[in-house]
Amino acid sequence: MSDVSLEAARRRTFAIVSHPDAGKTTLTEKLLLFGGAIQMAGSVKG
């Protein structure tokens, strides 16, 4: 498998749907932080 194929096989897509101010950004930041995609929670800006 190529590097692109391996990377594509690792990816997962999902949606977070809820009422306003229900913690979607907080949950998303924690998932990104624990997954290693970001280094500091609180860095997602709208």
Residue 30 in tokens: 């924690």
Q: Along the 46 residues of the chain, how does pLDDT read in single tens digits?
A: 788 888 888 888 889 999 999 999 899 899 989 988 888 888 666 5
Q: How many CA atoms lie less than 13 Å away from 7 in the CB half-sphere?
A: 3
- Integer Cα distance of 46 and 37 in angstroms: 18
Q: Domain coordinates of the chain in residue numbers?
A: 3-35
Q: What pLDDT does residue 34 have?
A: 92
Backbone angles phi and psi of 21, in degrees to 5: 60, 30
Query: Is pTM, for the whole model, over 0.85?
Result: no
14: closest CA among 1, 33, 3, 27?
27
Q: Which two tokens stand for residue 32?
A: 């990104």
**pLDDT for res 19:** 96
